[in-house]
Amino acid sequence: MSVLNNTDEQIKPVPVMELYLFGENTLEKHHITSTSQISQYITQPYKLWLNVCGLDNAPILQDIAKIFSIHPLTLEDIQNTNQRPKLEEFDEFVFITAKMIFTKSGLEEIITEHISLLFGHHFIISFQEKPDDIFDAIRVRLENPSGKMRKLGTDYFTYTLLDMVVDQYYKLIELIGERNEVLEDGIIGDNKNIKLADIYLHRKALQDIRKSTWPLREILSAWKKSDHPFIKKKTSVFINDIYEHTVEILESLELQRETITSLVEIYMTHLSIKQNEVMKTLTIIATIFIPLTFIAGIYGMNFKVMPELEWKYSYPLIWIIFITTTIAMLYYFKKKRWF
Amino acid sequence: MSVLNNTDEQIKPVPVMELYLFGENTLEKHHITSTSQISQYITQPYKLWLNVCGLDNAPILQDIAKIFSIHPLTLEDIQNTNQRPKLEEFDEFVFITAKMIFTKSGLEEIITEHISLLFGHHFIISFQEKPDDIFDAIRVRLENPSGKMRKLGTDYFTYTLLDMVVDQYYKLIELIGERNEVLEDGIIGDNKNIKLADIYLHRKALQDIRKSTWPLREILSAWKKSDHPFIKKKTSVFINDIYEHTVEILESLELQRETITSLVEIYMTHLSIKQNEVMKTLTIIATIFIPLTFIAGIYGMNFKVMPELEWKYSYPLIWIIFITTTIAMLYYFKKKRWF
Amino acid sequence: MSVLNNTDEQIKPVPVMELYLFGENTLEKHHITSTSQISQYITQPYKLWLNVCGLDNAPILQDIAKIFSIHPLTLEDIQNTNQRPKLEEFDEFVFITAKMIFTKSGLEEIITEHISLLFGHHFIISFQEKPDDIFDAIRVRLENPSGKMRKLGTDYFTYTLLDMVVDQYYKLIELIGERNEVLEDGIIGDNKNIKLADIYLHRKALQDIRKSTWPLREILSAWKKSDHPFIKKKTSVFINDIYEHTVEILESLELQRETITSLVEIYMTHLSIKQNEVMKTLTIIATIFIPLTFIAGIYGMNFKVMPELEWKYSYPLIWIIFITTTIAMLYYFKKKRWF
Amino acid sequence: MSVLNNTDEQIKPVPVMELYLFGENTLEKHHITSTSQISQYITQPYKLWLNVCGLDNAPILQDIAKIFSIHPLTLEDIQNTNQRPKLEEFDEFVFITAKMIFTKSGLEEIITEHISLLFGHHFIISFQEKPDDIFDAIRVRLENPSGKMRKLGTDYFTYTLLDMVVDQYYKLIELIGERNEVLEDGIIGDNKNIKLADIYLHRKALQDIRKSTWPLREILSAWKKSDHPFIKKKTSVFINDIYEHTVEILESLELQRETITSLVEIYMTHLSIKQNEVMKTLTIIATIFIPLTFIAGIYGMNFKVMPELEWKYSYPLIWIIFITTTIAMLYYFKKKRWF
Amino acid sequence: MSVLNNTDEQIKPVPVMELYLFGENTLEKHHITSTSQISQYITQPYKLWLNVCGLDNAPILQDIAKIFSIHPLTLEDIQNTNQRPKLEEFDEFVFITAKMIFTKSGLEEIITEHISLLFGHHFIISFQEKPDDIFDAIRVRLENPSGKMRKLGTDYFTYTLLDMVVDQYYKLIELIGERNEVLEDGIIGDNKNIKLADIYLHRKALQDIRKSTWPLREILSAWKKSDHPFIKKKTSVFINDIYEHTVEILESLELQRETITSLVEIYMTHLSIKQNEVMKTLTIIATIFIPLTFIAGIYGMNFKVMPELEWKYSYPLIWIIFITTTIAMLYYFKKKRWF
């Protein structure tokens, strides 16, 4: 997987970059258009949050990598949107890459974005695929001079970013729970509008979310056990909290998966029950009328010598045969509990 | 998951609070209406049990949190009724949050309540969602001056509260076992009243209970391994006992889950067997009478030249054909063991 | 789970108690009718086996508990016939509780009994639910003065008791294996006498045995790892032996469970195959004769103007049509490999 | 499980015993008929391989046990052909018991034999059920004076015996793989000759082999970790090799099990597809002709007043109705993609 | 498994061998035709990569083994194309054997090749089955004098070879993902062209890849934990990267396996739904027309005395009966929601 060496790329759009300088008494926001600006701000005695939105312009990302001395393989992880979530510790920073899964409208439009977070002694860098993000609440909280985000270290800052990410998972879980109930009502209530494809796609959405959540748990577990100097004891209670949330999300997903499995089973059984009913109807009708039709057929024959045809009471007699046969059949089916 | 910062809430009902002061020779019960009362009792040289019923009034809960120096994240866990059960150790107290699952009437009305227990050196606090609880036996046992509840530490007291909670699980398990037997009798005895939805809902109830029991086991396991100063060796035998109960509950749930799975399988197979029977009935009748009807149809044709029609013994002959064909068919089905 | 405090019980039958005093040169058997007798024998310089059959009379059991200083929770475990098997170590003795599963006639009548074993420095106590037990071989071996039971410690004695219990599991496994073969022959040989309920109940019996065996393995594993002073190195080879037996029993159960699962699958498939056959028969007959009947029906119509009716060779012609149609159909079915 | 004490047995056949004395320069082969001979050879300064074929004659086995000081429980493990494979270390020797599974003709005749291997400082004993064995290659290699078998220790010798055993598993796996392909071709190619019972028995054979292989892996794993003085570092590379083979066998078995499971699934689905086809044929024929027959039936009625019967063009008209109805039906089925 | 001793083999083709001598300033490529050439180059002060393509000529491989002092069992692992992937550490070198899985055209032609890699202090040897390989990119990168391949150690070189191998897995995974989508579209869109055999073979391909990937992960995990002197810290970041790739491949495979399982389920359910539809069509038609045909049959009887036949309005009346019966039936089916 060597994505790095392709230097001959076309001109790609410059990523949208915003840079916050902040301390207990300071908060400055700068829009960055060239990487040289970053080098300039990095020397100032404040903490720095660089939010980079857009991963297509390799040269600019490489410049940023040089400024913060990011290893080429790590840069590759940042750029590779298929990268599995993980946490890696380096001397200069801690590197986290994860998946943001969120929706703006509903389950039909789940957006999955690759996000990378790096935090060093006094800087945090976040890389996202697109400018449109879920960090507005962060920006608001950053404006509060007495808030923890300004006072505590870069690890706490990174925690709040991760917390935003995990919160979005929660919201999805809730939406999935609601959809599950719709499916449940539809299947148990035998609503015709439930389509198999719906269940299939629903199950697939669950799978996707689980695929991203599982390594998230590993990341947080690694953080909990880490003794990296930039990870302070003070934030451990927060990390524990977010860790439990991922555990809860995973358990919910597991439960919902089981629920879907039983729903599919119910669906199949419903089909069998209905088919059984259809077959019974056919069988009852056919079993009663086919023999009767045969009897009628007999006396529709044109043989010259058929004594019954001449008898006076043949016709009422045959009606008695028709009716008693029918009653006997119905009694038999009743006894067999077919209806 | 930041539930804390919403300070602008409407006026919420004050929780129902009762406070017990007790020692080997003392037992006082107070109804608390304002949090200032608590501060007053806390200084007295007795052990204190504060039972708070109602989690909606955030300011009052925050006052209590301040009095007992409860961390905001822990308070959040107390208020968040979706919080996953867990045990956390702090310097000042041990914090446990769990699910109370109980029923007053039957399996139709399972009540799930979020409960939090905190015990420090000389106090126990229990937070419940609603005043209506399962702790009446505790109140009675507390009145016994020579009982262990008065003599032993706050960890033993918390154990008895947890024991009450686990006892309710046991009762549910029994009810579920009974329901299982009803379903079993219904399905094996081929009773028509068993509905698929019943099985589905039954299985879902099992899932819910298991979801709450699993972390309960983890809590008790953590307690067993804990060396927190408030957790004394003396209570370890009791905790072991309750731990085994949760293990037993989980095993029972697992067994009942397997039982339901085989029941569904049996149900499906019953359906297939019945369908087979229906099909055989149809096939036997149709296979016998359709050819006969054809034969009768032949001699119902109105061709001018049909020599058989003129013969004298055609009619008895055709009856012989009818009867031998039928006997041959029946013999064939008998040989195939269709009935 | 507080079963202890109900002191107001009705008079319950006194348990059947037998007491053996034994040493290398001594063997005395006493029938105990009151607990005071036990206190008297306990002081003698012999090893002592007290076998208590019957758990209903709480006061007597409490007396015994006092004599041997058994903790109330342990006594509760002895009395609670739903107690999960376990091994607990105390200073004065090692406590084991398990399930005896045995049958006197066959798989129809599996008896499950709760059994508790306690061994101290010089005593063994066994508590059973009913007098009727599986320890006769023990009594015989005890009479052999040079046997290991007389020479070795109380741990070896307890081992032999447990060995008897596990032996009964073996016998059940064999019976289950035989039943499995009966089911297998029935299903593969397509014997009609196999009922679904049989398979279901068979599977349930497996579950029950497994439920009791699993913790037995844990008990023996705990014994193996134990460094309790009453558990001597010399018996470790025997415990290892019995431990392996439980492992083997569990593996056999697992295999038989898998076997049953595939049998059910075979059963279901057999049903489908048969249904397929039934359907084919119906379809062949109906597909051949329904069109023929229609043709016959055409010439049974009474239209005034139907030229064919007047023709001379209509009737033989129609027979040719009947026969060629039938042959064509049969050829088609043959080509489709329907028979 | 006390198989030992039954001393009153009938005279059982003496096992076939061969004894090899070997050193770097020596190789003697002796046929043993009485155990006293063994005692005589054991004192000689050579390594010794005693191969005992036949486990029925308890007294002779007990004599051998005495000569090599084998513990009664170990002897029981040697004799008990249901004994689970295991490795046990004693001061005087290492004891291994395993299952030989091999076939001389094909999968129809899999022979399972209980084999026990013991190796001490200068002796190896192998116990088999029957004289007919798989060790001929060993005998040949032993004759090579410069071979490792003559030079290296008893652990290497035992390794070669085990290697022979595992080799037979490999051959079985290959046969099973071939059979799998036959089943696969049969089911996917929709060959009628595949019977469900074949699949079932095939799956059962897999189970049996797995049951024996699993503990084999444990044995070799225990050997690898062992620091018994008779197990030398030099053989570790060989043991590692054989260990990997068992891992590979287990993985192959697992894969083949999965393959069979999907084959059964395919088989079931094929059944459903065929049934669907049968049903469609029936439905198409019946749906076309039953209404037509009804129409023909109408004009077969004998009412006096039926104006259509008198009309001149009734008959051609009714043919037009027949034909258009049929074409409409066929078009409908075509549109529904039924054929 | 002794493949070694068969010395009497026919003349096998000499493997294609290429040898690279390289240092920071040197790069020589030699085509080797006899093993004596190798001995000559090995003494030169450069690093050496020997690429051997073809495993059939045992004597030549044995010569190479002698030159590099490769253990006979290791040589066996190199030659045995069924060898399970593994990593083994020796004093002179580290040995890795793995499976190359790649395709040149598409999923129809997956090529699996056994590859073995050995790296010592200054040499790397790669053994492949066939000359046609995936290492062209390596050859190009080797020509770059300032590239890491020339500067870093033999472990880095081996890493790049392994990276090539794992890259091919990635490409396969992508192809499989695409195929999955084709199947998905086919099954959900109810496309008739999807054959069961396709799904089965697709699932089998997944199994095969997984079988090779799983041990690959173990190999890389072992490398990560290794403290062999030839494995330098500097390459650990690269190995970590490739390790994560295998984890990702395995997770993708797992996800795709689940997807296929649900697809098969959907397929089965589709079949059931269609069968249900077919049955309903048949039942509706039969249930309407069979009774009507019976009625028509009645009045086709030729009894002398049948008063209805004489009535004037019998015929219109019977039409009214026909039509109302049909409407009633259709209403009934509508109410049952059959269409």
pLDDT per position as a tens digit, A277-298: 889 999 999 999 999 999 999 9
Phi and psi at E226, nearest 5°, equal: -70, 145
pLDDT at A19: 92
pLDDT at D283: 92
Query: Does residue C60 contact residue C40 with C-beta atoms inside 8 Å?
Result: no
CA distance A230 to A157: 12
User: Tens digit of pLDDT for each residue in D89-107?
Assistant: 888 899 999 998 888 877 7
H or E element at residue B30: strand B27-32
Q: What mean pLDDT is predicted for residues D222-238? A: 87
Residue B178 banded pLDDT, cuts 50, 70, 90: confident
Is B305 in a helix, a strand, or coil? coil
User: Tens digit of pLDDT for each residue in E139-185?
Assistant: 888 888 888 888 888 999 999 999 999 988 988 888 888 888 888 88
pLDDT at D10: 57
Is the pLDDT reported for residue A132 higher than 80? Answer: no
Is the pLDDT reported for residue D301 higher than 70? Answer: yes
Is the pLDDT reported for residue C8 higher than 70? Answer: no
Residue E7 banded pLDDT, cuts 50, 70, 90: very low
Query: Does residue D269 contact residue D262 with C-beta atoms inside 8 Å?
Result: no
CB atoms A290 and E290 under 8 Å? yes
CB atoms E267 and D265 under 8 Å? no
- Interface pTM, i.e. ipTM: 0.73
CA distance E338 to E332: 9
CB atoms D271 and C276 under 8 Å? yes
Percent with pLDDT over 70 in chain A: 96
Question: Cβ contacts (< 8 Å) between A266 and chain B: which residues?
Answer: 196-197, 200
Mean pLDDT for chain E overall:
87
Mean pLDDT for chain C overall:
87
pLDDT at A5: 46
CA distance C9 to C5: 10
CA distance C126 to C96: 9
What are the beta bridge partners of residue C53? C16, C128
Mutate to test the interface with B, among A274, A283, A295, A336 (most CBs of B within 10 A): A283
Percent with pLDDT over 90 in chain C: 32
Dig out the tokens for A48 from the structure.
Answer: 């720095």
pLDDT at B3: 43
How distant is the Cα of B138 from the closest Cα of chain A, in angstroms?
31
CA distance B100 to B166: 8
CA distance C227 to C219: 14
pLDDT at A158: 93
How distant is the Cα of C268 from the closest Cα of chain B, in angstroms?
7
Is the pLDDT reported for residue E4 higher than 50? Answer: no
User: Tens digit of pLDDT for each residue in D20-48?
Assistant: 999 888 888 999 888 888 888 888 888 99
User: Tens digit of pLDDT for each residue in E193-237?
Assistant: 677 778 888 888 888 888 888 888 889 998 988 888 888 888 888
User: Tens digit of pLDDT for each residue in B124-177?
Assistant: 999 999 887 788 888 888 888 888 888 888 999 999 999 999 988 988 888 888
Residue C190 banded pLDDT, cuts 50, 70, 90: low
Q: HSE on the CB side for D300, CA within 13 Å? A: 36
Q: What mean pLDDT is predicted for residues E38-43? A: 87
Mean pLDDT for chain A overall:
87
Is C253 in a helix, a strand, or coil? helix
User: Tens digit of pLDDT for each residue in D58-70?
Assistant: 899 999 999 999 9
Question: Cβ contacts (< 8 Å) between D306 and chain E: which residues?
Answer: 315
The torsion of the CA quartet B118, B124, B125, B131, rounded to 10 degrees, works out to 130
Percent with pLDDT over 70 in chain C: 96
CA distance C86 to E335: 60
Burial bucket for residue A328 (CB in 10 Å: 0-12, 13-18, 19+)? exposed
CB atoms A276 and B275 under 8 Å? yes
Is the pLDDT reported for residue C4 higher than 80? Answer: no
H or E element at residue E101: strand E94-103
Is the pLDDT reported for residue A2 higher than 50? Answer: no
User: Tens digit of pLDDT for each residue in C86-137?
Assistant: 899 888 899 999 998 888 877 778 888 999 999 998 899 999 998 877 888 8
Dig out the tokens for C147 from the structure.
Answer: 């046997």
Question: Cβ contacts (< 8 Å) between E276 and chain A: which residues?
Answer: 271, 274-275, 278
Dig out the tokens for A47 from the structure.
Answer: 């903490």
Domains parsed from chain D with CATH numbers: 6-269 (3.30.460.20), 279-335 (1.20.58.340)
Residue B192 banded pLDDT, cuts 50, 70, 90: low
Quickly count: other Cβ atoms within 10 Å of residue A96's Cβ: 25
CA distance A6 to B231: 62
Instruction: Rank A182-196, A201-215, B94-108, D292-306 by mean pLDDT and report only the highest.
Output: D292-306
Question: Cβ contacts (< 8 Å) between E301 and chain A: which residues?
Answer: 296, 299-300, 315, 318
Percent with pLDDT over 70 in chain D: 96
In chain B, which residue's Cα lies nearest the Cα of A268?
A: B268
pLDDT at D143: 86
Dig out the tokens for C336 from the structure.
Answer: 């489709």
User: Tens digit of pLDDT for each residue in A199-241?
Assistant: 888 888 888 888 888 888 889 998 988 888 888 888 888 898 8
Residue E289 banded pLDDT, cuts 50, 70, 90: very high
How distant is the Cα of C272 from the closest Cα of chain D, in angstroms?
7
Quickly count: other Cβ atoms within 10 Å of residue D250's Cβ: 18
Is the pLDDT reported for residue D9 higher than 60? Answer: no
Is the pLDDT reported for residue D170 higher than 60? Answer: yes
List all residues 6 or more positions away from D29 whose beta carbon is below 8 Å from its beta carbon: D18, D19, D20
pLDDT at B8: 47
Mean pLDDT for chain B overall:
87
How distant is the Cα of D61 from the closest Cα of chain E, in angstroms?
32
Query: Does residue D102 contact residue D170 with C-beta atoms inside 8 Å?
Result: no
CA distance C339 to C333: 7
Quickly count: other Cβ atoms within 10 Å of residue C277's Cβ: 16
Type of residue numbered D315 = Y
pLDDT at D192: 65
Q: Which of E52, E46, E20, E49 is nearest to E33 (CA)?
A: E52
Lowest-pLDDT range of A26-35, B32-41, E10-19, E288-297 = E10-19
Q: Is the dihedral of CA C67, C71, C72, C75 positive or negative?
A: negative
pLDDT at E191: 65
How distant is the Cα of E184 from the closest Cα of chain D, in angstroms?
17
Query: Does residue D99 contact residue D40 with C-beta atoms inside 8 Å?
Result: no
Is D128 in a helix, a strand, or coil? strand
List, in sequence order, the alpha helices (H) in E299-338: 307-310, 314-335
> Is the model more confident about D188 or about B242?
B242
Q: Which of B117, B121, B122, B120 is nearest to B47 (CA)?
A: B122
Quickly count: other Cβ atoms within 10 Å of residue B273's Cβ: 17
CB atoms A259 and B204 under 8 Å? yes
List all residues 6 or more positions away from C3 whose beta carbon is below 8 Å from its beta carbon: C76, C79, C80
> Is the model more confident about B263 or about D160?
D160
pLDDT at E190: 67
Mutate to test the interface with D, among E70, E78, E315 (most CBs of D within 10 A): E315
pLDDT at C6: 46
Mutate to test the interface with C, among B302, B335, B339 (most CBs of C within 10 A): B302
